[in-house]
Amino acid sequence: MSAKLDGKVAVVTGAGRGIGRVIARPLADSGAHLVAAARTTEEIDSLVDEIAGAGGKAIAVRTDVTDETSVKDLFCAIDDKYGRVDVLINNAGMGVFSHIVDCSSEDFDRVLAVNAGGTFLCSREALKRMIPQKSGYIINISSVLGVRAYVNQGAYTAAKHGVMGLTKTLALEGQPHGIRVSAILPGGVNTELIGKSRPDLDPSELLEPEDIADAVMYLLGLSDNAAIDQIYIRRRNSSPF
């Protein structure tokens, strides 16, 4: 794995906390130049300090994935520092949880803007760099709600279904240029978000962020001839199939 990622430039959105922060560490440990992107400067600065303390290489770029100018500035900063993008992990996400009848238009639009809109904007800018390289890997952190639905999660479900639609199109458009695109669809993960969306779940039965990070590293360790469209990771005690 170190040989495959050594010297590569890997961008992680939503890197300041939760799944994104946990994904960032093994990427840096494997020799990648990590670009940590998130809205909260203090969180990504502390991540960069942690990585540097462990001998890794990382920079923090404050980014609002819902803002087109902010996303363009992120990739321009990467151009100035590294001149290439090899891996993009679209992880930034948020949810508002209520019955559809109680969901405001503002909340619905905000959930779609972060999850689906952010994936679109970041993927578009990454592709502009990856296509001339004839290489790259985009991994979208979706959700079981990309293929299923639950009560109280209409906006989040719509957004994650949108992420899956984008993933499928990105894979088709990237394939002629040697670019691979995959989605990871986790069930309940032990983060702050799950407490809001599924307070009924027993925390001891949840997936851990490290499970998602392991899936990311598995995908990035595949040979160049292998492609996986999606990885669906469910909680062990949830319903199969």
Residue-wise pLDDT tens digits, 55-76: 999 999 999 999 999 999 999 9
- Decide if 239 is inside a domain: no
HSE-up of residue 73 (Cα within 13 Å, Cβ side): 13
- Decide if 241 is inside a domain: no
pLDDT band at residue 237 using 50, 70 and 90 as cut-offs = confident
Cβ-contact 22, 50 below 8 angstroms:
no
156 in active site: yes
Cβ-contact 39, 27 below 8 angstroms:
no
C-alpha pair distances (Å), 97 with each of 42, 114, 202, 238? 27, 15, 18, 20
Looking at residue 95, which CATH number applies to its domain?
3.40.50.720
- Decide if 196 is inside a domain: yes
Cβ-contact 230, 167 below 8 angstroms:
yes
Distance, CA of 110 to CA of 71 (rounded, Å): 16
- Decide if 238 is inside a domain: no
**188 has a pLDDT exceeding 60:** yes
Average predicted confidence (pLDDT) for the chain? 95
pLDDT of 3 reads 66
- Decide if 138 is inside a domain: yes
The residue annotated as part of the active site, out of 82, 150, 156, 232, is 156
Of 83, 82, 62, nearest to 74 by C-alpha is 62
User: What mean pLDDT comes out for the span 158-186?
Assistant: 98
- Residue holding tokens 């469910």? 234
User: What mean pLDDT comes out for the span 180-198?
Assistant: 87
Distance, CA of 23 to CA of 17 (rounded, Å): 10
- Decide if 43 is inside a domain: yes
- Decide if 240 is inside a domain: no
Indicate the number of domains in the chain. Answer: 1
- Please write the tens of the pLDDT for every residue from 77-121: 999 999 999 999 999 999 999 999 999 999 999 999 999 999 999
**195 has a pLDDT exceeding 80:** no
- Decide if 193 is inside a domain: yes
**182 has a pLDDT exceeding 80:** yes
**2 has a pLDDT exceeding 60:** no
- Helix H, strand E, coil C: the string for the chain is CHHHHCCCEEEEECCCCHHHHHHHHHHHHCCCEEEEEECCHHHHHHHHHHHHHCCCEEEEEECCCCCHHHHHHHHHHHHHHCCCCCEEEECCCCCCCECHHHCCHHHHHHHHHHHHHHHHHHHHHHHHHHHHHCCEEEEEECCHHHCCCCCCEHHHHHHHHHHHHHHHHHHHHHHHHCEEEEEEEECCECCHHHHHHCCCCCHHHCECHHHHHHHHHHHHCCCCCCCCCEEEECCCCCCCC
Q: What are phi and psi of 185, to 5 degrees?
A: -115, 90
User: For residue 139, what are the domain limits?
Assistant: 2-233
